[in-house]
Structures are given as structure tokens and as C-alpha cells.
Amino acid sequence: MKQVFVGGLLAASAAAWNLDVHNQIGFMAETFLTPYTTSVLHEILESQYNGSIGKAGSWADGYAHTTEGRYSAPWHFIDTEDNPPTFCHLNYKHDCSSSGCVVSAIANQTEILKGCIKEVKDGSLTAGTNLTCSYALKWVTHFLGDISQPLHASGRAYGGNRFPVIFANVSTQMHKVWDAYIPYMDANVTEPFSNQSIDPFFASLVSRIKKEDFAQSPSTWLSCTDPSTALACATLWATETNKWDCEYVYQHVDNITDVATSGYAVGAFPIIELQISKAALRLGTWLNNLVEGNAHELDEQVEL
């Protein structure tokens, strides 16, 4: 079993995939971007990101906790009204709140981003001077990560935030366990992942994607990546993610056993690796399709 690390590293976890995990999903996605897509996104992001969606990947969490940006907090999840592990079901019209949810946010910000890309192409947007556009790109980057995390597609116990568990002798809650504790344990790290470049654990996931080293071919993850059907695709992704809440998240856990040593965390490793990899490949493909359209074949776009 991989060593379990607690203390400062685990205490630093935040809502959503941990901030550094969001950065790493962005860095993974960058490896699938075409040069032209990369050049267009460089003009959309503010200059401090140097054109990197990886460096911008965690912005949305910080913004949601500011006075200015707290309206965007509901956009990070969708609270399904189901009962995992007995029953998992996502109904977009019923479950997406009037303040929005991760599904509607992906659709809405994708639509804004389309216009921003058009502005870059006609020369009216350069150097990240339109904050609405930069925010849209940062939100799309972040939310394609959020929608892959099982507890961002579950309403039980407020997405697991009120489901107490023990991890490595530390009393915590289920959401933190999936956001950070299990990814850190899987990667066997003692420090947070980089927010400046891709780390070895995530680089290895990129290699696995390109080698199609998953139970299902990564090409099957891209069955819905047409930005013109953003709402339908985001609903499909959230529905797929929600199923893990019945199939594993709540199926194999209790409030008494230490999930770090019981086998629960180790059993979750393949799910974490799969969901992070899906998020990265879908994000890279989504952005390529937004910039270049859907004319390219999969192997040309993402170089699997």
C-alpha cells in the first residue's frame, strides 16, 4: 500500500478537486491542444497566465470565495436529488438550481467563449484585455474538471461535505477525501502538486491516454464533445459522473472504518485516475473544437 501522508498537506484541501489538482488537469489538457488553439487561448487569457490554462485552472475556486464572485459558487456542482448508493439519477431540469449549476455554467460560458474566439480571429481581442472572455475560458477550464469529480454531481450530504469519515486517523469529510486526500495518496506525494507545470503523476496519465491504457479506449470518452451541443454534453458528463456515487463512493464506505487503510482509498485510485484523465482529454478536445471546429479527425486533434 502507498504511504499515507497527513498534516499540512492534507489540511490544505479546498472545495472542488484541490486547487493544485485543477492546475494539473489544465496542464494535462494543454498536451492535447493544437498549436493554433494554444495561440488563440493565449490572446484570451490575462497576461499573468502566459497563455496557460493550467496556471489558470484553479482561479474559479478562489473567485467564488470573494465578495465579487460568490454568485458563481453554485456553478461548481449539481445537487442531484437521489439516494446513493441505493439510487443514482441526475435530472438537469429538476436538479440545476435557479442560481445555475456546473451543467448550465459549462453551456453558458462555452457560448460566451465562442464569441471571444471570434474576436481573437478578427483581431479585436488580444493580450487578455477582455475580462469577460478570460473569465469564460477559466470557468470552462475549471468546470470540466469539477464535472468529473463524483461528489460534484451528488446532492447527498451537500456533496459529501457533511458526510464524516476518518482518513489516516484524521476526522474529515467525504468531499475532502475525494478532492485531495485520495489523489495525494495515489500519487504518493508529500507536497502539493505544482501550479506552474505538469507533475510526473499527471504526465503519466497523459502517457496512458495516448497509449489507450485504460479499460475503455479514451476515444469513447469523446462521444459528446461538440460545443454546439454544450448543454447536452455537460448533462451527459454529469450523469456519467453521478453513477460513481452509487457504484463506489457511497457503496463501500462507512463512518467508522479508516478509509485510508481499509482498502477504500486504494480501490478509488482507478476511479480518480479515470475521471481526471477524462476531464483533461475532454477539455483539450472541447477547446480544439471551439477554436478549429469539428473537421479534424480525433487522431489529428489530440494525437492519441
CATH value at residue 144: 1.10.575.10
Residue 186 counted as domain residue: yes
The structural domain count of the chain equals 1
Residue 1 counted as domain residue: no
Residue 299 counted as domain residue: no
Q: What is the secondary structure of 254-276 as a DSSP string?
A: -SSSBTTTSSHHHHHHHHHHHHH
- Residues 6+ positions from 302 with CB-CB distance below 8 Å: 32, 281, 284, 285, 288
Residue 302 counted as domain residue: no
Q: Which three cell numbers stand for residue 300?
A: 489529428
Residue 105 counted as domain residue: yes
Helix (H, G, I), strand (E, B) or coil at 181: helix
Nearest to 197 by CA among 34, 38, 21, 27: 27
pTM (whole model) above 0.85 = yes
Predicted confidence at residue 292, as pLDDT, reads 96
Residue 298 counted as domain residue: no
| pLDDT tens for each residue of 100-134 | 999 999 999 999 999 999 999 999 999 999 999 99
| pLDDT tens for each residue of 248-300 | 999 989 878 999 999 999 999 999 999 999 999 999 999 999 999 864 433 44
Predicted confidence at residue 256, as pLDDT, reads 86
Residue 69's domain spans which residues? Answer: 8-293
Predicted confidence at residue 10, as pLDDT, reads 53
pLDDT band at 2 (very low <50, low <70, confident <90, very high): low
